[in-house]
Homo-oligomer: A and B are copies of this chain.
Amino acid sequence: MHPTFQHHDHSHCAGDSLARAEALMAERGARLTPVRKRVLEILLEAHKALGAYDVLQRLAAEGYGNQPPVAYRALDFLVEQGLAHRIQRLNAFTACMHAGETHAPAFLICDRCATVAEAPVAPIRAALEAAAAEMGFAVDRVSLEATGLCPACKDAA
């Protein structure tokens, strides 16, 4: 079973990701400011996809600005830097579990508990790009999202 779906020490995996993020940003000369860092933490702690307004609410409760752009800007930054992903289907955001590694994930979204896992699908993406190329279409960005039931919710049902 995939780690995301297993019981695991969550504070540990979140801490790891955060440390990796800080290292990456330092390396790139990008600024992981307090708001941005806090947003990343929020996403990591939640361990599921959060809407921009969910994030905003938490930020506001901690004394940061409480207007939408505050959340959207931080989220956009994280997405640009590959520290988070946007889940189109949910109008929501989730922390990236493999920041730094170049990866082409598919997202598996549980309909019941909203957990989001990243599945590695590099070959699938290559196949899609090949198919598109045959049609004369030049692919820029791909989003691959599947909904269904995660192992836990499947057992519960």
List chain A positions with a Cβ less than 8 A from chain B.
1-2, 4-5, 88-89, 106, 108, 110-111, 117, 119-121, 123-124, 127-129, 131-132, 135-151, 154
Q: Are B2 and A136 closer than 8 Å at their CB atoms?
A: yes
Given contacts A89-B88, A111-B140, A127-B123, contact A132 B148 (CB under 8 A): yes
Distance in Å from the Cβ of A130 to the closest Cβ of chain B? 10
Q: Are A135 and B1 closer than 8 Å at their CB atoms?
A: yes
Q: Are A141 and B135 closer than 8 Å at their CB atoms?
A: no
Q: Are B138 and A128 closer than 8 Å at their CB atoms?
A: no
7 closest A-B pairs (Cβ-Cβ)? A136-B151, A2-B135, A140-B148, A88-B88, A139-B148, A142-B146, A138-B149
Partner of A128, one of B106, B139, B150: B106
Given contacts A128-B124, A144-B144, contact A135 B149 (CB under 8 A): no
Q: In the docked arrangement, what's the CA distance between A127 and B142, Å?
A: 16
Q: In the docked arrangement, what's the CA distance between A150 and B137, Å?
A: 5
Distance in Å from the Cβ of A112 to the closest Cβ of chain B? 11
